[in-house]
Structure 1
Amino acid sequence: MAALVVLVAACSEQSEGDQQAAAQQQPQATPVGTVTLNAQTVGLVEEMPGRTVAFRQADIRPQVDGIIKERNFTEGAFVEAGQQLYMIDQEVYLARVDAAQAELTRQRATLDQTTKTRSRYDPLIKSQAVSQQTYDDAVAAEAQAKAAVAAARAELEQARINLAYTTVTAPISGQIGSSDYSEGALVTANQSAKLTTITQLDPIYVDVTQAGGRLLKIKEAIRNGRIKGIEEGQIEVSLIIDATGEEYPHKGTLQFSDVTVNETTGTVRLRVVFPNPDGTLLPGMFVRGQVRQGHLEGAFLVPQKAVMRRPDGSAYAYVVEDGKVASKDLTIEQSQGQDWLVTAGIEDGAQVIVDGIQRIGPGAPVAPQPVETAKAAE
C-alpha cells in the first residue's frame, strides 16, 4: 500500500513537470496597442495647388487720335463702370460733327429738290408732255439723293461716335492701376500700349490643378455610385494661402473643369470662384485648394502609423484575429490628415495594431490593449 502511494505521487510530480515544460515552450503573447475601426461615411477632400486669377481685367486703350487733356481718376482707386477716366482733345471731333451735320443738311435739300422734280413729272409722263428719258432721269436723281442722305447720316453718326470716344470711360468696375500716360501725351487709335488697367477683384477666380488620371477615377466612381453627394455647381472649396499657411475665411464654389489635359504636366485645370470683399486675395498668389469631391460610404480611417508598405508599394496593416496577428492588404483612396482613407481590406470592427508593430509578425500571439485614437495618430 505504501508503495502504491509513492508511485501515485511520483506520477503526479512528473505530470506537473510536463505541463510546466509545455508552458515554457509556448510563446508568450506580446502586448500591442490596437484601435477598433468601424465603417463610416467619409467626405473626399482633395488638396490641389493653384493660383489666383482676376475675375475680370480690362486694358484701357484709346479709340481715337489726340492729345490727353484730363486724367480723372486716382491711381489705385476703385472705379465704377462708365466712370470717366481720360479726356482727349475734342476740338477736331466737334468740327467733324459740325461738318457732317452740314453735309447732311445739304443732301436733304438736294433730295427735297429731286423729289419735287419727280413729282411734277408724274402727271406729265401720263400725257406724254415729257419724254420717258427725262422722267427716268428724274427718278434716278431722286434715288441718288436718297442714297446721299443716308451716307451723310452715317457720316454724322460716325463723327458723333468718334466725339464720344474722346471721353475714355471704365468698361468694368474694379481696382485701377497706374496710368502710363499723363496730360499732354499724344495717343493714337487702337495703339498697342495701354493707358491703364482695371482689375475686378471681388469675386476672384482660383485655378487649381488635378492629375488627369485622378479625375478620371473620380468620375468613374461617381458613375458607378461608389462616390456620392456631388451636385454640379454646389461643390464647396476651402482655400489655404501659401504665404501665411492660414485658411481663407470664405468658401468658394467650383465653376468648371477643363476638357483637355495639359500635355506637359498631365493635369486638368479646375476653376473656383471665391468672394473677396476685403481684397485679401490678389491675382498671382499661390494657394492650395481643398476641393470636396463627394463622400464614400463604408470607408475606414486607418492611422498612418499602422500602415506599412512592401517593396512593390502595396499597403498592408496588422490586425488581431483570434489572439494572433493577421496581415491585411489595403486599398487606399487618399490621405486625410494623419489617417489613410481605406476602401477595402478592413472589416467592420477590426482591431488594427498601431503600437508594437516592430515586435510582431503574422501568426504571432498578441495581447491587444486598446489605445485612444488621438494618441494612436501621434
Structure 2
Amino acid sequence: MNAVLKPLRPRGANANPSFAPRRIASAAATFAISASLLALAACGNPGASAQNGQMPPPEVGVVEIAAQSYEHTIRLPGRVSAFEVSEVRPQIGGIVRARNFREGATVRAGQVLYEIDAGPARADLAAADAAAASARARFERYQSLIDINAISRQEFDDARAAADQATAAANSARISVGYSRVTAPIGGIIGASSVTPGALATPSQPEPFAVIQQIDRVYVDMTRSSSELLALRDRSGLAGGRASVRLIMPDGSYHPVTGELQFSDVTVNESTGTVTLRALFRNPNHTLLPGMFVNAEVSQGVQENAILAPQQGVTRNARGEATALIVNAEGMVEQRVLETGPTAGDRWVVLSGLNPGDKLIVEGTQRVQPGAPATAVPVTPTEQTSIELRGRQNG
C-alpha cells in the first residue's frame, strides 16, 4: 500500500495562516529599537563616533609666540676707502735711475722709492752757492764802506737784499737735490708703479709714480636720504654717540670686526637729496680693500619684548594685509590681521596682531579654516642666531 505525504500544519493557535507576517514585523521592530539605542550611545562617546566614520579635528603644527629682545638695524650699501692715501709724484725733472721697492709691498714713511738723476740739480746747486758767496762778499765790503759814508744807504740795503736772495736760491737748489730721492710720504701698501728706470720725470706730470694706501683701518662711505637720516639720528643716538656698524662682505659673510659710525656730512646732495655717512673699521688682516662694495648694517637700538613670528606662518589676503592663523584656548582656528615691520632673519617683526602665548599655525594651514576645530602640535622652531635676530631695512 502506497503512503501519501501531506504538509504538516501548526497545531492549535499556531494554525492561523497570518502567523508568519506578524513574526516578521515583530523582528523588524526589535531591530529598530536596538539601532536607536546604539546611535544614542555613539553620540555620548567620541571614540565610537570615530569608529563610525567621523574624522577627528586635523592636527596642525604651531609655534608659541614669545617676547624677546630684538636689535633694529638698517642696511645701507657702501664703498670701502683707505684711511690714508698718498700719490707719489716727482718734485724735479730728470731721468729715473732706480726703483727701490716691490709692487704691492708695505713701505714705511720716508723710505726711498725712486732715484732721479741728480746731476742737473747738483749743477744748479753749485751755481747757486757761488752766486750766494759773491753776494755775501759784496755785502760784507759794503758794511765797511757804509761806516765812512763811502756809499749811500740805498746801495747798502740793495747789497744786503741781494745776499739774502742768493742764499735763499742756494737753499732751494739744495732742496731740489734732495728731491732726486723720491721718498714715501706715508706708510702703507704701495701699488703698481707707472714708471720704470729710464723714464723721464717731470714735476707737473698728471700721472703719479705710484699710490700708497694705509688700510690697517678703512672707511666705509654710505648714503642715506636726508629724511631717513633724521629717524636714524633719533633711534641710534647718532647726534651725540657712536652707533655700531657691521659689514656684510661680497660673499655674504660678516666682517669679524664691528665698526663705529664716525660722522654724517653737513651738506645734502642737491641732485639726489642724500647725505653721506662714514664708518671706521679696523682691518688687521687687510680683508677690506679700497673700492670694495659692501653692505653696512647700522644699529638703531634694541627693542625689548619684541614679537617675532616665523614667516611661513604669515600670509597675505586679497587686500594685501598680513594675516595669520592661530589656535585659541578653545581649540578653534582664529584668523588675525597683522601689522608687520622689518624682517629678522626668517621672521617678521610683528607690531600688532599677535600676543605672547598665541599658538601660531606654521604647518598644516591648508587643512584648516577659520572657525574650525584643530589639534595644536608644538613644532620646534629653527634655532635663531644673533645675526638672525637683527632686523634689517634696506636703504
Q: SS of the residue aligned with 1:41?
A: strand
Q: What do the CA deviations read for 1:74-93 (whole angstroms, capped 9, x no partner)?
A: 22222111100111111221
Q: In the TM superposition, what is the alpha-carbon distance from 1:216 to its structure 2 partner? A: 4.3
Equivalent residue for 1:372?
380
Equivalent residue for 1:64?
92
Aligned residues of 2:87 and 2:210 also touching (Cα < 8 A): yes
Alpha-carbon distance in 2 for matches of 1:217, 1:359: 43
Alpha-carbon distance in 2 for matches of 1:82, 1:318: 70
Equivalent residue for 2:144?
116
Q: In the TM superposition, what is the alpha-carbon distance from 1:168 to its structure 2 partner? A: 0.6
Alignment of structure 1 residues 83-122 onto 2, 5 Å: 83-121=111-149
Q: SS of the residue aligned with 2:152?
A: helix
Structure 1 counterpart of 2:216, one-letter code: D
Q: Does 1:186 align with 2:205?
A: no
Q: In the TM superposition, what is the alpha-carbon distance from 1:210 to its structure 2 partner? A: 5.4
Q: In the TM superposition, what is the alpha-carbon distance from 1:143 to its structure 2 partner? A: 2.1
Q: Does 1:237 align with 2:242?
A: no
Q: SS of the residue aligned with 1:342?
A: strand
Alpha-carbon distance in 2 for matches of 1:213, 1:307: 30
Q: How many residues align?
A: 341
1:92/1:259 CA distance change after superposition, 3 Å = same
Q: SS of the residue aligned with 1:287?
A: strand
Aligned residues of 2:101 and 2:113 also touching (Cα < 8 A): yes
Alignment of structure 1 residues 76-87 onto 2, 5 Å: 76-87=104-115
Alignment of structure 1 residues 208-219 onto 2, 5 Å: 208=222, 215-219=229-233
Structure 1 counterpart of 2:249, one-letter code: I
Alpha-carbon distance in 2 for matches of 1:371, 1:334: 24
Aligned residues of 2:244 and 2:258 also touching (Cα < 8 A): no
After superposing the two structures, state which structure 1 stretch, 344-353 or 72-81, moved more. Answer: 344-353
Aligned residues of 1:241 and 1:247 also touching (Cα < 8 A): no
Equivalent residue for 1:289?
296
After TM superposition, the score normalised by the length of structure 2 is 0.73
Aligned residues of 1:76 and 1:177 also touching (Cα < 8 A): yes
Equivalent residue for 2:283?
276
1:51/1:170 CA distance change after superposition, 3 Å = same
1:358/1:213 CA distance change after superposition, 3 Å = farther
Q: What do the CA deviations read for 1:279-319 (whole angstroms, capped 9, x no partner)?
A: 33333334333433321122111111111223454323233
Q: SS of the residue aligned with 1:201?
A: strand
Alpha-carbon distance in 1 for matches of 2:323, 2:229: 25
- In our comparison, the structure showing a higher alpha carbon Rg is 2
After superposing the two structures, state which structure 1 stretch, 61-70 or 232-241, moved more. Answer: 232-241
Q: What do the CA deviations read for 1:109-158 (whole angstroms, capped 9, x no partner)?
A: 2323333333334xxxxxxxxxxxx8xx7222222223222322321222
Q: SS of the residue aligned with 2:351?
A: strand
Q: Does 1:305 align with 2:312?
A: yes
Alpha-carbon distance in 2 for matches of 1:317, 1:213: 33
Structure 2 counterpart of 1:371, one-letter code: V
Unpaired segments ≥5 residues, structure 1: 1-9, 122-133, 224-228
Alignment of structure 1 residues 1-378 onto 2, 5 Å: 20=43, 30-121=58-149, 138-208=152-222, 215-222=229-236, 232-233=241-242, 235-242=244-251, 245-258=252-265, 269-323=276-330, 324-374=332-382
After superposing the two structures, state which structure 1 stretch, 328-337 or 281-290, moved more. Answer: 281-290
1:178/1:336 CA distance change after superposition, 3 Å = same
Structure 1 counterpart of 2:179, one-letter code: Y
Alpha-carbon distance in 2 for matches of 1:251, 1:220: 21
Alpha-carbon distance in 2 for matches of 1:254, 1:184: 46
Q: What do the CA deviations read for 1:345-366 (whole angstroms, capped 9, x no partner)?
A: 3223332222232344444444
Unpaired segments ≥5 residues, structure 2: 1-32, 50-54, 385-395
1:262/1:66 CA distance change after superposition, 3 Å = same
Q: SS of the residue aligned with 2:196?
A: coil
Structure 2 counterpart of 1:41, one-letter code: S
Q: SS of the residue aligned with 1:277?
A: coil
Aligned residues of 2:243 and 2:260 also touching (Cα < 8 A): yes
Structure 2 counterpart of 1:165, one-letter code: Y
Alpha-carbon distance in 2 for matches of 1:348, 1:262: 45
1:311/1:113 CA distance change after superposition, 3 Å = farther
Aligned residues of 1:117 and 1:138 also touching (Cα < 8 A): no
1:330/1:117 CA distance change after superposition, 3 Å = farther
After TM superposition, the score normalised by the length of structure 1 is 0.76
1:275/1:373 CA distance change after superposition, 3 Å = same
Equivalent residue for 1:6?
none
